[in-house]
Amino acid sequence: MMNINVLVDRDDDLEWLKYTLDSFILISRANFSFNVCVREQHFQGMAIAYGISLNPGNEKVISIPRVNDYQPGDYSYIVAGDLEDSRIAGTSIPVFRKTFNPEYSRTGKTLLKNQGDDSCCVALIENGIKLSFDLFYNCFVHLSCLQEWEYEKRGYPIHSYAAKLNEEPALYQKPVVNYLFAILENTILLLMDKPEQDELFRKGEGFQICLTHDVDYIRKTTSLRTKRSAFYLSSGFREFKKVKLANALREIGRSFRFLFNPCDYWQFEYIQELEETYNVRSTFYFYAGVKRGQVWERFRRLIFDPGYNIMKNDKLQKKIRKLTENGWEVGLHGSFDSYNALDLLLEEKNRLEAISSLPVLGTRQHWLHLTIRDTWEMQTKAGIKVDTTLGFNDCIGFRAGIASPFYPYDFDTGGKHQIVEVPTVLMDGALFDHYQMESNESREKSLEILGEVKKFNGCVAINWHQRTPAAEYKWYWLYQEILSWVKENGGEGIPVFKVLEILDRDEDLLQRTS
C-alpha cells in the first residue's frame, strides 16, 4: 500500500492530525495510508508539509500552512477555479477566516480562489501544490465539534440547540468536511501519475439514508396534552406580538384542540405498510426507563421522558418482538437523564434486550441529549456500537459538517471513540414545529440536504417519530416523498445497524487491497 508522509514540526499536532487523517481515509475510501511524523529531512514519493517549508527537489509536496485559530461565524468562501470536480463546482465552501495565511501561496495556477477578492487559495506549482489556508484544522474544528467542546468547558452543553452556538443556520446546510476532504483528494490526485490515480480512491456506489423512528408516545397522555398545548399557546402569543392575528388565532385553536381531542398514536402498522411499499426497513428506538425514585425524580421523568412503561405493556412488548421477526430493527431511546449516567443507560438497555431477545447495538438519546465529554464514552461502555444522537432540535443539516458515518473525537485521549456516529440531518419536529415550514418549503429544504448526501455517496439518518402519522400531525407525507426520492436517485433506505456491516465490508476490502 502506498504511504504519504505528513511532516510536522510540533509534537502537539500529532494526535488531532492523525485523527483527522484517519477520518479522511474512512470517509474518502482512500486506498493508501498516512504517516504523520515530526519533520524529516529526507523522504520519498509524496509528502504533505504541514506548517513547515521543504525544498522538495524532484519529490512532490502539498504545502499547507499551520494556522490553528478560528472565530465562530467568521468565514471566507472559496470556490473552484480550474479544479474539475463535479462535487465542488458551483459551491461556495466556508473556511474560517482566521485559518488563512495569504502570504503562503501567491504563484502558480489557481485551482481554488477566494470568492470575495479572487485571491488564490489553492495553487498548482512546480512539483507541488500550495494552500493558503489550514485545511486540516478547518476539518478538525467541525468533525470534533470543537466549538461545542469549548462551550461545555465554560458551563453546560448545548445538548441539541444550534441557537446556543454563534453560527448562522446556513452553515449547517452543507457538509463542510466532505467538501474539504474532496479538495484534499483532488490535490493528491493531481500530483499522481495516471496509473496511480485510478487506484487511490475506491468509488462509492449510491448513498444510504438510515430510516429511524423515535417512539416517544403510544397514546395521548395528560403530560403530552399539557406540554404540547402550552407549546401551541406560547406560539400564538408570539404571533400576537408580531401583530399577526390570523396566525395567532390558528395556534391558539390548535392548543385547545390538542388539549381536548382524542387521537390514535399507535401508528406502527401504518409505518410498516408504507415501508413495505418501498421495500425498505427502518429502526424503531424504544424508551425502556421507569418512573421511580424520589417524588421530584418521578415528576421530572413524567415531564421529560417518553410516556409509557415498557415493562408493564404486554401489547408493546409483543409488537417489539413482531417488528424484529419481520426485519425491522429495535434500538434504545435513552431517557432524558441517561446521556451521562452509565448505570441508568445500562439498566434501560438490559430491559430492552430482555424483551426483544436481541442485543441492542444502537441508540438515540431522548431530546438529543448529548455532551461531547461524556455521552459517547458512556455509550461505548454500555456496549452500544452505533449512535444517531448528533443532530439539532432547532435546525436541520450537518451538525459536525459531515454527511458520512464517523468515529467521534475523544478530547481526553486524543484518539477516537470506539463508537460509530451516524449524523441525524432531518427530523420532523425541526421542520414542522421549530421552522413551521409550509409543504413546498419543507420538501425543498429536505431534498437539498439529502442532495448533499447523494453528492458525496454519504450515509446519514433521518427521524420521523412513530406517532406523527396521526391526524394531529400528518407529517408522514414528506417521509413518503423522501422514500420515493431516495429510490429514484439511486439511494438506499436502510436500518441503522446495517451501517456497521457496510463499514466492516469497507475495512475488509481495504485489507485485501493493501
Q: What pLDDT, on a 0 to 100 scale, did the predictor assign at position 512?
A: 41
Mean pLDDT over each residue of the chain, to the nearest integer: 91
Q: Using CA of residue 27, residue 31, residue 37, residue 40, what is the dihedral sign?
A: negative
For residue 93, the model assigns a pLDDT of 95
| Same domain as 386, residue 244 | no
**CATH number, domain with residue 158:** 3.40.50
Examine the domain organization and report whether 163 and 233 are in the same domain.
no
Can you give the length of the chain in residues? 514
State the Cα–Cα distance between residues 179 and 171, nearest whole angstrom.
13
Phi first, then psi, for residue 320 (nearest 5°) are -60, -45
pLDDT over 80 at 184, yes or no: yes
Given pLDDT bands bounded at 50, 70 and 90, which one contains residue 57? low
Q: What is the largest CA-CA distance in the chain?
A: 79
86: number of Cβ within 10 Å: 9
Written as one letter, the residue type at 164 is: K
Phi then psi for residue 346, to 5 deg, are: -65, -40
Strand partners, 130: 63, 123
Q: What is the CATH number of the domain that holds 421?
A: 3.20.20.370
Q: Domain boundary at 199, 231, 252, which? A: 199
Q: CA 212 to CA 238: how far, in whole Å?
A: 32
Same domain, 93 and 168: yes
| Same domain assignment for residues 182 and 291 | no
Answer whether residue 94 shows pLDDT above 50. yes
Q: Tell me: do 214 and 300 sit in the same domain.
A: yes
One domain, residues 249 and 290: no
Q: What percent of the chain has pLDDT over 70?
A: 94
The pLDDT, as a whole number, for residue 514 is 42
The tens digit of pLDDT for each residue in 243-281 reads 788 888 888 888 888 888 989 999 999 999 999 999 999
User: What is the pLDDT at residue 513?
Assistant: 39
Q: Which of 46-60, 158-172, 445-459 has the highest mean pLDDT?
A: 445-459
Q: Which residues contact 117 (CB under 8 A, 6 or more apart)?
A: none
The three-state (H, E, C) secondary structure of 387-417, written as one string: ECCCCCCCCCCCCCCCCCCECCEECCCCEEC
Domain count across the chain: 3
In the chain, the percentage of residues whose pLDDT exceeds 90 is: 68
Task: Tell me how far apart the alpha carbons of residues 84 and 265 are, in angstroms, rounded to a whole number.
Answer: 51
pLDDT (average), residues 342-361: 97
Regarding whether 232 and 153 lie in a shared domain, the answer is: no
Mean pLDDT of 23-28: 95
Among the residue ranges 10-19, 199-208, 380-389, the one predicted with the least confidence is 199-208
43 and 19 part of one domain: yes
In this structure, the answer to whether residues 319 and 190 fall within a common structural domain is no
Is residue 291 very low, low, confident or very high in pLDDT (cuts 50, 70, 90)? low
Closest alpha carbon to 321 in 275, 358, 274? 358
Amino acid found at 510: L
Helices vs. strands in the chain: H and E counts, helices first: 16, 20
Can you tell me which residue has the cell 502537539?
12
- 194 shares its domain with 152: yes
Average pLDDT (136-140) is: 98
Domain, as residue range, for 76: 2-199
| The model's pTM | 0.94
Q: Is 465 in the same domain as 328?
A: yes
Q: Is the pLDDT of residue 117 over 70?
A: yes
What's the pLDDT band for 106 if we cut at 50, 70, 90? Answer: low
164 shares its domain with 230: no
